Amino acid sequence: MFTTDESRIDEAISKHLKTWWTFETKQEIELNYGIAVLNQIISIYDFASQSEFWLSLELEDAYNLAVERLKEQYPFLSDDSVRRIANMAAYSWK
């Protein structure tokens, strides 16, 4: 079972993240879920996007590896949230 904070993180990602961070997106998440949730989402995104494999693998392979690593590191994230974070990471390397 996941904690309330983990559920809120997953919900915030599913409801608010698009292809890229915007000031408005960060502001909405902070307003609706608090700074702690926003900071955790930023950490999750950093985990997904700041890995060397983005430099050495083809985009599709790197994306698939990011998805796999996110699911292992953050098992409380729904498939939709994992996809959103991985898409943002891929977009930043595209």
What is the end-to-end Cα distance of the chain in Å, rounded? 36
The pLDDT score that the predictor gives to residue 2 is: 55
Residues 70 and 47 sit within 8 Å (Cβ to Cβ): yes
Q: Which band of pLDDT confidence, cut at 50, 70 and 90, is reported for residue 3?
A: low
For the entire predicted model, the pTM comes to: 0.91
pLDDT in tens, 39-92: 999 999 999 998 888 999 999 999 999 999 999 999 999 999 999 999 999 998
Select from 67, 90, 76, 68 the least CA-distant residue to 40: 76
